[in-house]
């Protein structure tokens, strides 16, 4: 198979240095530079501080976002009007602390602030309590501030969960409460960044053992925002390749068809099993992508996500989604057309694979979803059968080996093979090439350009 062998090129006539002094000097210079680099890295680690010097509001509403959202209110934009209509119309808000505190922070509406503080008197949702404490400082008198701070401190000390949502809750609470108990705040944040993230979670992302995406991504995005805003710590640095690929994964792993529910159209992230789509999960997936774009508006990868988000038919309009749409949505941010993205997304590290025939709503789609091989066509997802699936110019073939097929284009995948096992691929009676499957038993075949090719894949003994 062409292009399977990497070649190294030796320089035929390497340059000769005729200055003996320089020859002796360069090794010394290299050692000095290495020492300086190590010293700088050590200084950087030593200089990292988890003590907060920022003022309230600290959580999600930095100065730039506050200005943007208050301008949205002044302009009476669609996102603001739908959020205001829900609040003023007395709608039942699924997250009342978050919604009323956000409305108060932007509109200066004391009634909304009082509702948020009253809700917090008996609530146990640590994240929302932290947001109320941070965003309603001007509403809290000394007595209520003391009571709310005590409630948050008690919940923070008791909360030991390791999932992303639980860790996010602790991060927000520690940052909101930094003035009340600086020592406890620093301890919690140190444990999160150096322990949970750098020691446990980021290495799993790098190794492909963990994927955090869609609705599960939103708590991580909130934590990333508040850590960078207050401590200048960018969690992406510990898993750079993962976050570079994440925007493409987000878009590729949606089913093609659109779900209509009331006045809102939803894109549905792929899910295991055959139950009804989860509207809440679809809502929080969009919220995660809005926050993803807000975190890095200049990255080309996130500009494709912005292009994906800009269609008004997908605006979150209900009582759960409207506050998130208002908080993170930025219609003035330019985006790139996601139609330009590749129709296949394959990550050999994690084994994630998604293939679609087009970016249209009626596309044929294949995906590996939590280990389940799914095919989406005619408006529904179902387990992939034994027959090869033609998806645009690509082909997905299901094992076990040996398998024989005619590939219609340059890309084909054989799935359902033995993980981490060597296989032999023969194309049109040419010399066989040895390839190895990924962690999930997928073999990616990059075939010669041009006419269709006849392929035989067998397991190597």
pLDDT band at 149 (very low <50, low <70, confident <90, very high): very high
Final residue belonging to a domain, choices 301, 328, 355: 328
CATH number at residue 346: 2.60.40
Contact at 8 Å (CB) between 97 and 131? yes
Indicate whether 323 and 347 sit together in one domain. no
The neighbour count for residue 387, using CB atoms within 10 Å, is: 9
Within a domain: residue 15? no
41 pLDDT tier (thresholds 50, 70, 90)? very low
Low-confidence winner among 3-7, 149-153, 170-174 (lowest mean pLDDT): 3-7
Domain total of the chain: 2
Dump pLDDT digits (tens) for 74-107.
999 999 999 999 999 999 999 999 999 999 999 9
Task: Give the mean pLDDT of the chain.
Answer: 90
Let me know whether 306 and 356 are in one domain. no
d(CA 339, CA 304) in angstroms, rounded, equals 9
User: Considering 328, 356, 375, which residue would you say is the last residue of a domain?
Assistant: 328
Is 244 within a domain?
yes
- Same-domain check for residues 247 and 185: yes
Does some domain include residue 128?
yes
Average pLDDT over residues 329-356: 96
Judged by average pLDDT, the poorest of 42-56, 112-126, 250-264, 361-375 is 42-56
Residue 164: give its domain's CATH number.
Answer: 1.50.10
Do residues 139 and 266 both lie within one domain? yes
Residues 123 and 244 in one domain: yes
Instruction: Give me 408's structure tokens.
Output: 């219609």
Q: Which segments of 298-393 are extended strands (E)?
A: 344-347, 352-356, 365-369, 372-377, 380-383, 389-391
Residues 274 and 155 placed together within one structural domain of the fold: yes
Residue 366 lies in a domain: yes
Do 309 and 242 belong to one domain? Answer: yes
Residues 205 and 300 in one domain: yes
One domain, residues 324 and 379: no
Question: Per residue in 101-137, pLDDT tens?
Answer: 999 999 999 999 999 999 999 999 999 999 999 999 9
* Length of the chain (residues): 461
pTM, entire model: 0.89
Residues 322 and 353 in one domain: no
Residue 33, domain member (yes or no): no
In the chain, count H helices and then E strands: 15, 15
Burial of 459 (0-12, 13-18, 19+ CB in 10 A): middle
Domain that holds residue 350: 342-459
Please tell me whether residues 288 and 410 are part of one structural domain.
no
pLDDT band per the 50, 70, 90 thresholds, residue 409 = confident
End-of-domain residue from the set 328, 360, 380: 328
User: Do residue 206 and residue 324 come from a single domain?
Assistant: yes
Q: Tell me, yes or no, whether 251 lies in a domain.
A: yes
Domain-embedded: residue 67: yes
Please tell me the predicted confidence (pLDDT) of residue 361.
95
């Amino acid at each position: 198979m062409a292009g399977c062998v990497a070649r190294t090129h030796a320089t035929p006539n390497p340059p000769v240095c005729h200055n003996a002094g320089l020859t002796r000097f360069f090794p010394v210079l290299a050692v000095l530079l290495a020492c300086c680099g190590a010293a700088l890295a050590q200084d950087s680690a030593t200089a990292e501080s988890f003590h907060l010097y920022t003022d309230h509001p600290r959580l999600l509403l930095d100065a730039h976002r506050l200005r943007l959202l208050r301008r949205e209110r002044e302009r009476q934009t669609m996102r603001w009007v739908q959020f205001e209509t829900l609040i003023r119309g007395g709608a039942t808000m699924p997250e009342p602390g978050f919604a009323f505190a956000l409305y108060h922070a932007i509109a200066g509406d004391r009634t909304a602030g009082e509702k948020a503080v009253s809700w917090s008197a008996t609530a146990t949702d640590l994240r929302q309590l932290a947001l109320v404490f941070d965003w309603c400082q001007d509403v809290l008198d000394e007595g209520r501030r003391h009571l709310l701070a005590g409630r948050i401190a008690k919940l923070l000390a008791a909360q030991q969960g390791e999932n992303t949502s639980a860790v996010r809750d602790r991060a927000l609470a520690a940052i909101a409460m930094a003035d009340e108990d600086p020592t406890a705040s620093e301890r919690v944040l140190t444990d999160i960044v150096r322990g949970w993230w750098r020691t446990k979670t980021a290495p799993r992302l790098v190794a492909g053992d963990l994927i955090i995406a869609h609705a599960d991504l939103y708590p991580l995005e909130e934590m990333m925002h508040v850590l960078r805003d207050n401590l200048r710590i960018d969690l992406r640095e510990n898993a750079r390749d993962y976050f570079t690929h994440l925007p493409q994964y987000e878009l590729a792993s949606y089913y093609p068809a659109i779900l209509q529910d009331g006045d809102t159209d939803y894109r549905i992230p792929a899910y295991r099993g055959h139950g009804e789509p989860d509207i809440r999960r679809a809502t929080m997936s969009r919220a995660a992508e809005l926050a993803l774009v807000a975190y890095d508006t200049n990255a080309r990868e996130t500009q494709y996500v912005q292009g994906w988000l800009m269609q008004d038919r997908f605006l979150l309009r209900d009582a759960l989604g409207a506050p998130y749409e208002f908080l993170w949505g930025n219609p003035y941010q330019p985006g790139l057309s996601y139609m330009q993205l590749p129709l296949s997304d394959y990550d050999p590290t994690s084994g994630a694979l998604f293939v679609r025939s087009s970016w249209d709503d009626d596309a044929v789609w294949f995906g590996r979803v939590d280990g389940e091989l799914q095919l989406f066509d005619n408006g529904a997802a179902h387990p992939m059968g034994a027959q090869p699936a033609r998806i645009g110019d690509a082909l997905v073939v299901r094992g076990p080996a040996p398998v024989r097929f005619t590939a219609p284009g340059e890309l084909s995948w054989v799935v359902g093979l033995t993980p981490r096992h060597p296989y032999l691929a023969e194309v049109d009676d040419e010399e066989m090439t040895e390839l190895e499957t990924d962690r999930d038993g997928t073999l990616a075949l990059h075939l010669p350009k041009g006419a269709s090719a006849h392929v035989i894949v067998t397991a190597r003994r």
